[in-house]
Structure 1
């Protein structure tokens, strides 16, 4: 059996799986709740080589550690209207007929959520439309908190190892480095996708063309932006022109 291949498993009570990441599945429990659980079943009985068993054991342990870190970060954040109480609808599935008003509302809510977690010394490190969920009233909820929790002086004391995808990653020497501006850069990509209905650089593959995507961002060869609502905010997020997510909220609500 291929030890790099993972087959979905179904803990008691879930209805269906709606997403899969590197370490975890996300599945619907009911109208108001989803369950995030490791991709490796604790009762896995596949026939694997010694190397395969070690790999899958490590993958399962990493998933559990990540979930524990996410729980600690969420406990630190407490209740906020822009932080998850999950539902099975992802913002990546944007209806092309969605109004401009609704798109701008989502952009503003995403920025509000980011501003809030930053006020609690949390770095998300993986802002994307895939981690922006909608509740039953179509309001944004930030999810997937496996980033970093910092002391007020900026030293990191919990690090979940999260990192952005290529389309959301601010060009920098160390891809593992994360701060407020890298989060805001990623927010710019999320807002772009909300407003345009597709990711930037549709002519490039996010995996095969990673170096070219990073080069374009670094050299300022950005997707066409004009005078449409939100375009100036997207550009400023990508250009590193914001010092805080609160400034993004302010500009979106002008």
Structure 2
């Protein structure tokens, strides 16, 4: 790393390493591993450059260019509380109180806002999952990890996890057969919201890969979990799973309506 010694914060699978860049405020460098430099790095760089050229919402990680000493390293906003998946997992397993309804609605709206903005610029995330939602020091949600994104309808180099994938009634894997679309993104967001509210994926009793066919069957036949006991967002999640929304704008509006029902003043705080 050309004389630099930066603290390793995490490793994003086999594709990149997240390094802490000291400063005020501190930032991170997403340094792509050698095997990902030629494919994933150019995609994520192009996505963030398109965001930066527009008035991107604060719910997308801010981009500050490429680090001079790390040619395949993107400088990004530092999300001090890490990714939402790990944050909720730790809450669940340490016996800490679950996030309240107001915070859950705020996160849901911020996620929908970020994806709405991306879609308006011809960008689909293609890997919507709580592991790609990040929390800053004030617990505001920021969507990141755009390395596998579809840009202007291009083929995605990544794709949703199984429980985040839309299947047709005949068993067709929609993202695989027709590509990444607003519908596949909306479905995936529904599963991410379900994890956000419950702290676990749909059908936690099923394991992969051994129960993969059963999971696919339930997705194909729309046998979704009972959501009568959910504290919030049950209707939004159901409508995402049944793709009853035409756009992320509609999803965001539905979340805002539910937020207002919980607290008339809540929207002013979002």
Confirm or deny that 1:243 pairs with 2:246.
Answer: yes
Residue 244 of structure 1 deviates from its aligned partner by 0.4
Equivalent residues, number = 220
User: Matches of 2:160 and 2:4 in 1, distance apart?
Assistant: 32
Do the aligned residues in 2 keep the contact of 1:123 with 1:148 (CA within 8 Å)?
yes
Do the aligned residues in 1 keep the contact of 2:15 with 2:33 (CA within 8 Å)?
yes
Confirm or deny that 1:70 pairs with 2:47.
Answer: no
Superposition map of 1:1-254 within 5 A: 12-30=4-22, 32-40=26-34, 60=35, 62-78=36-52, 79-84=56-61, 85-88=77-80, 89-92=82-85, 93-94=87-88, 95=91, 96-97=96-97, 98-146=99-147, 147-150=149-152, 156=153, 158-171=154-167, 172-173=172-173, 175-176=175-176, 177-226=179-228, 228-254=231-257
Do the aligned residues in 1 keep the contact of 2:127 with 2:159 (CA within 8 Å)?
yes
Local SS of the residue matching 1:253: helix
Residue 11 of structure 1 deviates from its aligned partner by 8.6
User: Matches of 1:134 and 1:216 in 2, distance apart?
Assistant: 31
5+ long unaligned stretches in structure 1? 1-8, 41-59, 151-155
Do the aligned residues in 2 keep the contact of 1:38 with 1:64 (CA within 8 Å)?
no
Root-mean-square deviation (CA, aligned residues, Å) is 2.2
- The alpha-carbon distance between structure 1 residues 38 and 240, as it changes in their structure 2 partners (threshold 3 A), is same
Residue 35 of structure 1 deviates from its aligned partner by 1.9
User: Matches of 1:134 and 1:87 in 2, distance apart?
Assistant: 5
CA-to-partner distance for each residue in 1:11-44, whole Å, 9 max, x for gaps?
A: 934212323224222333346322222334xxxx
- The alpha-carbon distance between structure 1 residues 12 and 127, as it changes in their structure 2 partners (threshold 3 A), is same
**For residue 46 of structure 1, what is the aligned residue in structure 2?**
none
Do the aligned residues in 2 keep the contact of 1:66 with 1:160 (CA within 8 Å)?
no
- The alpha-carbon distance between structure 1 residues 164 and 63, as it changes in their structure 2 partners (threshold 3 A), is farther
